[in-house]
Chain A
Amino acid sequence: MSGFFSGLLRFRRGAWEMLATILIGLGVFMLMQPFWMLAFTYSFIVTLVGTVMFIVVSHFPE
């Protein structure tokens, strides 16, 4: 876990890709879940941030 946070601080690809992946997964879940309308409303922005982040951080060093 500390490796993950130090990776984030040092702008390492693995940690940031993991964060972007979590955001995309969360966004898609929010988009398709049947429980909470508010989550559906904010799903797109979460997915968009995750996707853009994924594209950017995939150019970070390993």
Chain B
Amino acid sequence: MSGNPIDRIATATPAVMAKRVRGLSDRAIAWLFVGPSIVLLLAVNIFPLIWTINLSFTNFRANRLRDAEYIGLRNYERILTDTDTWQSMQATANFLFWTIFFQVLIGFALAYLINKKFKGNDLWTTIIVLPMMLSPAVVGNFWTFLYQPQIGLFNYVVEFFTGIDSSSFSMIGDVSLAPWSIVIVDTWMWTPFVMLICLAGLRSIPDSIYEAAECDRASKWRQFWTLTVPMVLPFLMLAVLFRGIENFKMFDLVVQLTGGGPGSITTLTSIDLKREAFEKWRTGYASAYAVILFVTVFGLASIYVKALNKVKER
């Protein structure tokens, strides 16, 4: 026996097992490796999805023992004619649009600045990505303190720059300001994520391309629009896809900050869905709601992935 550890392990394998493994085809070994993942995927993703679709056609309530009755499409009909659901969809659309807009704009600008070589570059990158590493529950909690009209730092900063009395407005208590309060916090927390993805895109552009553009006397402005933007675009689209899906199901941060209020002005679809499922215990109705959201996100993600592939092919 040689002293090589691999040889020793091979020799230590019982003869019966060695024969059995040797008898497996490559395909069988591949299935052996992939099998557990597929079983896990079926158990954790596919089965609950099918079960949810099944429940969406019933009047099942998880807090009652009686059997569920099939009620056809009545849950879907109720959801899609409910003005409160319509309002929560609008709140979600508003939140999605503005968070993605600001995150892409500021994230790209920060990445562009960080990409320039300057002293303390790495330190600034670390400082900027700090918010992303915090728990959304923690962020939600400390921003509620920052937004306090009497003691909150945010109102004092606004007063310092604009002269508006700090105690005259409440970011999370005012109907017109509350949607912006969640947009600000989400932007603060997740802009670093967009920045990191954009930074990866910017760093993947070889310097030789810019040198060639310099030789052709292309202006900095033209270089930015014809080289930088098209080459970072796939990365930017990926960031938008990730943030879009994440924000569509945003829950924890908003619950901690505003709890969906004042009134229902910041009640996003995920909060509405949670209330239907676990406060009103309308499980069948909530399942139909979840199916609607799933189809929407799935449809959007499909066309987005297609667009992303097209951009990458260019």
Binding site for B on A (CB under 8 A): 17, 20-21, 24-25, 27-28, 31-34, 37, 40-44, 47-48, 50-51, 54-55
Q: Is B80 a contact partner of A44 (Cβ separation < 8 A)?
A: yes
**Which one of A25, A31, A37 contacts B303 once the chains associate, using CB atoms below 8 Å?**
A25
Question: Residue of A at shortest CB range from B292?
Answer: A44
Give Cα A21–Cα B302 distance, bound, in whole angstroms.
9
Question: Residue of A at shortest CB range from B81?
Answer: A41
Is B295 in the interface zone, CB < 8 Å from A?
Answer: yes
Instruction: List 12 interface pairs A-B (beta carbons < 8 Å), by A numbering.
Output: A27-B296, A28-B296, A28-B300, A31-B296, A32-B92, A33-B90, A37-B86, A44-B76, A47-B296, A51-B295, A54-B299, A55-B302
**Which one of A24, A32, A33, A34 contacts B299 once the chains associate, using CB atoms below 8 Å?**
A24
Give Cα A43–Cα B296 distance, bound, in whole angstroms.
10
Binding site for A on B (CB under 8 A): 76, 80-81, 83, 86, 89-90, 92-93, 292, 295-296, 298-300, 302-303, 306
Chain A residues within an 8 Å CB radius of B303: 20-21, 24-25, 54
Q: Is A43 a contact partner of B295 (Cβ separation < 8 A)?
A: no
Q: Distance (Å) between the CB of B51 and the closest chain A CB?
A: 19
Question: Residue of A at shortest CB range from B303?
Answer: A21
Give Cα A16–Cα B93 distance, bound, in whole angstroms.
27
Chain B residues within an 8 Å CB radius of A33: 90
Q: Is A27 a contact partner of B299 (Cβ separation < 8 A)?
A: yes
Give chain B's interface secondary structure class.
helix
Known: A25-B303, A54-B302. A37 touches B89 (CB 8 A): no
Closest A-B pairs by Cβ, 6 of them: A32-B93, A51-B299, A24-B299, A41-B80, A21-B303, A34-B90
Question: Residue of B at shortest CB range from A46?
Answer: B299
Q: Is B80 a contact partner of A43 (Cβ separation < 8 A)?
A: yes
Give Cα A55–Cα B305 distance, bound, in whole angstroms.
13
Q: Distance (Å) between the CB of B112 and the closest chain A CB?
A: 30
Question: Residue of B at shortest CB range from A51?
Answer: B299
Give Cα A11–Cα B306 distance, bound, in whole angstroms.
18
Q: Is B80 a contact partner of A40 (Cβ separation < 8 A)?
A: yes
Known: A32-B93, A37-B83. A17 touches B306 (CB 8 A): yes
Give Cα A50–Cα B204 distance, bound, in whole angstroms.
36
Give Cα A11–Cα B89 distance, bound, in whole angstroms.
35
Chain B residues within an 8 Å CB radius of A31: 89, 296
Known: A51-B298, A51-B299. A40 touches B306 (CB 8 A): no
Most buried by A among B89, B90, B299, B303: B299
Question: Residue of A at shortest CB range from B86?
Answer: A40
Q: Is A24 a contact partner of B81 (Cβ separation < 8 A)?
A: no
Question: Residue of A at shortest CB range from B288?
Answer: A44
Give Cα A41–Cα B93 distance, bound, in whole angstroms.
16
Extra contacts besides A24-B300, A44-B76 (12): CB < 8 Å = A17-B306, A21-B306, A24-B303, A27-B299, A40-B86, A40-B89, A41-B80, A44-B292, A44-B295, A50-B299, A51-B298, A55-B302
Give Cα A34–Cα B81 distance, bound, in whole angstroms.
14
Give Cα A36–Cα B81 distance, bound, in whole angstroms.
11
Q: Distance (Å) between the CB of A59 and the closest chain B CB?
A: 13
Give Cα A47–Cα B82 distance, bound, in whole angstroms.
18
Question: Residue of B at shortest CB range from A23?
Answer: B299
